[in-house]
Amino acid sequence: MVKTFLSTTKKDSGRSNHIIRKRGKSLTENNKAALIFLAPMLVGIFVLVLYPIIESFRLSFFIIQPGANVNKFVGLMNYRFAWNDFVLWRTLWNTTKMALMEVIITVPLSFIIATLINNAKKTGNIYKVLYYLPNITSVTATAIVFRFVFYSSDSGIVNFLLGKLGLEPVRWLTSMQWAPITVVIFSFWLRMGFNVLICLAALQTISREMYEAAEIDGAGPVKKWWYITLPLAKPILLYILIMTMIASMKRFNETFVLGGEEGLPGGSLFTTVMYMYTVAFKSANVTYGATIAVFLFVIILIMTVINTRFIRFNESDY
């Protein structure tokens, strides 16, 4: 997706360049106009994105204690502290565990639902809207609802249904084993529609002829799905996988609402971003907070690089 942006800039700038040169407008005049058009966003990017990134790195090499008026360079001390900080590792483990679980259910299910919607002749659009609905509602409000949907007594819908099936009620949000699973189910419910739409966009690029050729060879719907759709959708599945992974590593809102500031029960919902929030804003230790942010940034950066590589790699498949 990102690549298409790049390729269009190149082509178009060439074309408009040609037009403008022909009309005798000087390039400096264009520069000035472009600067004015870009000014608001440029200021925003430099002041609110680029400067904060550099400042986050800088802060992570300092300790600041506003009360004691301490502001001193400590080299890698914050990082050494982070390396031995078992709370940080615990939050990373919590976050990664939930991320992996979410990827495992999100990728196959979104894809299956997308192929079904793609094959639903007249009703496809209704499903798109219905499945996307949770995506636009606020995480906070829906998380509040899910606290009761997954209520630990049997007055919660899920436990009630389990009871009907003759199963014991599960302590969804009150036991340390089940709470992360509950968050993952909630998060899947919340974001699935988005992944389904991306899959659908990719599926619609697969040409009909390929299926028709397979039909002539006598392939049924399941075979066509397995031998044509699935291999061709591989790049988009990788994309969803990494995007889900990145979003999950930044998990904050749903665990904050479902588990409170401490990520209850027993800190099982305490994610890395929640830890950063607690350190920087509750304990007012901005420098160590920044160190945690850098940790997270590096992890996400690696995933982003992998993601762009995958997309480039498989672009010829389309």
Partner 1 sequence: MRQESKKFNLILQQMIINIILIAGAIVVVIPFVWMIGTSLDLTANVQLPFPPRFWPPDPTFRNYVIGFNNVPMYRYYYNTGIITVFAVIIGTLSGLSAGYAFSKIKFRFKRLLFMIFLATIMVPFEMTAIPKWRLFKAMGLLNTHAAVIIPYISYVMGSFLAKQYFDSLPNALKESALIDGASEYAIFIRIYLPIAKPIVATLAILLFIGSWNSFLWPLLVMTKQNMYTIQIGIALFTANVDNIYPGVVMALAVIAIIPVVIVFLFFQRYIVESVALTGMKQ
Q: Is residue 284 within the footprint of partner 1 (CB under 8 A)?
A: no
Q: How far is the CB of 256 from partner 1 (least distance, A)?
A: 7
Helix, coil or strand: residue 70: strand
Question: Which residue from 174, 170, 137, 166 is spatially nearest to 154, judged by alpha carbons?
Answer: 170
Of the pair 8, 207, the CB lying nearest partner 1 is at: 8
Q: How far is the CB of 186 from partner 1 (least distance, A)?
A: 9
Q: In this chain, which stretch among 37-45, 92-100, 175-183, 225-233 interacts with partner 1, using CB under 8 A?
A: 37-45
Which of residues 107, 233, 238, 273 is near partner 1 by CB under 8 A?
Answer: 273
Residues 162-191 that bind partner 1 (CB under 8 A): 189, 191
Number of residues that bind partner 1 (CB under 8 A): 113
x/- track of binding to partner 1 for residues 6-35 (CB under 8 A):
x-xxx-xx-xxx-xx--x-x-x--xx-xxx
State how far the alpha carbon of 259 is from the alpha carbons of 177, 226, 266, in Å.
13, 40, 9
CA gap 112, 131 in Å, rounded:
13
Partnered with residue 72 across adjacent β-strands are: 63
Compute the CA torsion angle 253, 290, 84, 300 (nearest 10 deg): 60
Q: Give how far the C-alpha of residue 79 lies from the chain's centroid of Cα atoms, to the nearest Å.
A: 26
x/- track of binding to partner 1 for residues 191-230 (CB under 8 A):
xxxx--xx-xx-------------------x---------
3-state secondary structure 94-136: HHHHHHHHHHHHHHHHHHHHHHHHHHCCCCHHHHHHHHHHHHH
Q: How far is the CB of 78 from partner 1 (least distance, A)?
A: 13
Q: How far is the CB of 18 from partner 1 (least distance, A)?
A: 9
Of the pair 90, 118, the CB lying nearest partner 1 is at: 118
Of the pair 103, 293, the CB lying nearest partner 1 is at: 293
> What single-letter amino acid sits at 58?
R
Q: How far is the CB of 177 from partner 1 (least distance, A)?
A: 20
Q: In this chain, which stretch among 68-76, 81-89, 94-102, 147-155 interacts with partner 1, using CB under 8 A?
A: 147-155
CA gap 149, 180 in Å, rounded:
15
Q: Is the dihedral of CA 293, 298, 303, 309 positive or negative?
A: positive
Q: Is residue 137 within the footprint of partner 1 (CB under 8 A)?
A: yes
Q: Is residue 144 within the footprint of partner 1 (CB under 8 A)?
A: yes
Residues 72-101 that bind partner 1 (CB under 8 A): none
Which residue has 């690029």 as its token pair? 205
